[in-house]
Structure 1
Amino acid sequence: MIRLHVPQTLFPGAALAPTLDQSRYLTQVMRLKAGDLLLVFNGVDGEWRCVVAEVLKKGVILKAEDQVRPQTHGPDLELIVAVVKKARVETIVEKAAELGAKRVRLAITQRTNAERIRLDRLDAIAEEAAEQTGRLDVPVIDEPVKLEAILDTWEDGRRLMFCDETGGAPPVRALASPSPSGEGERKPWSILIGPEGGFSPEEGERLRALSFTTAVSLGPRILRADTAAIAAMTLWQAAVGDWDRGYDRD
């Protein structure tokens, strides 16, 4: 069934007005008409069955009927990635949403060769990926910030999987090790992917010295940023993520 992300509160009988683009998608692409059913979610109230109540000249009106899935949340995982070429950033955001990231943070490193980033475009990509994958929320996409500022304001208790192109432990082995604080595997995590030119020696030295960092290697081959992001998130999900169990982080 078609799934749609909406910002409105969901409850029995709620009238929902999708955006003009969403309305065109429903009526012109998917050919829905009055009386047809679809699923909607807003990241807060779970997933709801809705009916197309009215088809107007400039949009549609949906009516919420009943909840089909309560709200759940995946692991608290964020992807931090250096800004690379636009097409690759878009791929990274799409795959991060598919692989369960809660947040994508764009970083400016010493070797970043930044292109103009359209956050509205990235938000739309993340939303579409969430609709297609069945997740009940949409990852947040942050505007680019200097890596040093991200590290200076690091969240207490969050661990960092640093994908170090100069060397590190195999990811599965490193992630299976107890955390430095002795806390459980369900603590918040971040994954850091560098720019095409790699991290500078100063950045690498600082990252490896941080108490919350787990340095890992993604193998003997040099990977592009989008490939590295997909590989790292896959390995993380397989080791400590939600692939082998239900995961509710309310």
Structure 2
Amino acid sequence: MPRSNFRMQRLFLRQILAHGARIEADKAQTNYLVNVMRMTSGDRILVFNGSDGEWLAELEVESRKSCRIALVEQTREQAPAPDIDYLFAPLKHARLDYMVQKAVEMGAGRLRPVLTQHTQSSRINLERMEANVIEACEQCGVIAVPEVLEPTSLAGLLEGWAQTDAGRRILFCDEGEETHNPLAVLSKVERGPLAVLVGPEGGFSQGERESLRAFDFVTPLPLGPRVLRADTAAVAALAVVQAALGDWY
């Protein structure tokens, strides 16, 4: 599939996208396109909704408060979401925003907060997470918008996984693993559905590590000899997994 044209402004829409459609931009979209970006009638943008591919569209600006988006032609067909789940202990706002955006860029198909013993923040704003997902998709040419799932406890996640998702291997980032080499571990993992689990700043408790290791669908994954912050670990883990077993392979 061709890459997006990064020289053009991209905008996420919730409406159905089809040839000839004319979509009324909402207040925030109009303000951004007309007043912030200074776009006028005839200017072109790319739009997507996560299910109908990417489309070239032309603006019809009536005023500073009114704008329509007229679809011209499809530029990319819809791609399926990447088959990697990203599971993570929530962080505080700014660093959580960063982590969510980078997970989207790195090819996560679904994002799910997981509450652990050392989780720093149990208050999770899913709407804010979804907004960060969309922003990352707009900026990076992603057309398969990752799904944001409801938070769960680690115990609840593992219990449900054993019943319904045991065919999807969980790679959990374990700072207590004896080896530092993630590639050695990943070379023994069969290609297939995967999930990457990153813990909180304080790491998983000993009890949580023992619980994770008790399941045959869980594999501990080291991330080198250095101590990484949780948001850095997210990027590092997804990068090495994509390179060894994912769509970088």
1:48-59 → structure 2 map (5 Å cutoff): 48-59=55-66
The offset of 1:112, in angstroms, is 1.5
Could you tell me whether the CA contact under 8 Å between 2:35 and 2:64 is conserved in 1?
no
Alpha-carbon separation, structure 2, partners of 1:240 and 1:68: 29
Q: What stretches of structure 1 of length at least 5 have no aligned partner?
A: 180-184, 245-250
Instruction: Specify the alignment match of 2:211 in structure 1.
Output: 206
User: CA separation in 2, counterparts of 1:168 and 1:72?
Assistant: 39
Q: How does 1:129-208 map to 2 (within 5 A)?
A: 129-154=136-161, 155-167=165-177, 169=179, 170-179=181-190, 185=191, 187-208=192-213
Residue 215 of structure 1, CA deviation: 1.0
Contact residue 55 and residue 75 of structure 2 kept, 8 A: yes
TM-score of the aligned structures, taking structure 2 as reference length = 0.90
Is residue 94 of structure 1 aligned with residue 101 of structure 2? Answer: yes
Number of aligned residue pairs: give it. 238
The one-letter amino acid of 2:183's match is: V
> CA separation in 2, counterparts of 1:32 and 1:68?
21
For the residues of structure 2 that align with 1:209 and 1:168, how far apart are their CA atoms?
A: 17
Query: Counterpart of 2:151 in 1: which secondary structure?
Result: strand
Match of 2:4 in 1: none
Give the match's secondary structure for 1:143: coil
Distance change >3 Å, CA 69–CA 214, structure 1 → 2: same
What is the CA-CA distance between 1:83 and the residue it aligns to? Answer: 1.5
| 1:226 counterpart = 2:237 | no
Deviation at residue 206 of structure 1 after TM alignment? 1.2
Question: What CA distance in whole angstroms lies between the structure 1 residues aligned with 2:236 and 2:178?
Answer: 15
Structure 2 counterpart of 1:29, from 6, 13, 36: 36
For the 8 Å contact 1:81–1:193, the answer to whether it is kept is yes
Q: How far 1:191 moved relative to its partner? A: 0.4
Using the TM superposition, give the Cα deviation of residue 67 of structure 1 relative to its aligned residue in structure 2, in angstroms: 0.6
**Contact (CA 8 Å) 1:77, 1:102: kept in 2 or not?**
yes
Distance 1:29 1:58 in 2: 12
In structure 2, relative to structure 1, the CA distance for the partners of 1:116 and 1:59 (3 Å cut) is farther
- Farther-moved stretch of structure 1 (226-235 vs 13-22): 13-22
Tell me how far apart the structure 2 counterparts of residues 98 and 148 of structure 1 sit (CA, whole Å).
28
- Contact 2:126 / 2:148 at 8 angstroms: preserved in 1? yes
2: CA distance, partners of 1:142 / 1:22: 26
Residues 168/208 of structure 1: CA separation in 2 closer, same or farther (3 Å cut): farther
Distance in 2 (alpha carbons) for counterparts of 1:71 and 1:217? 35
Q: What amino acid does structure 2 have at the position aligned with 1:62?
A: I
Query: Structure 1 length as normaliser, TM-score?
Result: 0.90
CA contact (8 A) 2:185 2:221 kept: yes
Q: Distance in 1 between matches of 2:187 and 2:124?
A: 36
Equivalences for residues 42-121 of structure 1 within 5 A? 42-114=49-121, 116-121=123-128
1:75 positional shift? 2.6
Alignment deviations for residues 8-34 of structure 1 (CA, whole Å, 9 cap, x no partner) = 111111121233222211111211111
Contact 1:168–1:216 (8 Å) recurs in 2:
no
- Could you tell me which amino acid in structure 1 is paired with residue 168 of structure 2? R
8 A contact 1:80–1:106 mirrored in 2: yes
Residue identity in the other structure for 2:152: V
Structure 1 residues 67 and 203: alpha-carbon distance in aligned structure 2, compared to 1, 3 A threshold: same
What does residue 124 of structure 1 align with? 131
1:178 CA displacement: 4.2
Equivalent of 1:10 in 8, 14, 17: 17
* Contact 1:33 1:55 (C-alpha < 8 Å) held by counterparts: no
What percentage of aligned pairs have identical amino acids? 45
Q: Using the alignment, how far apart are the partners of 1:110 and 1:178 within structure 2?
A: 28
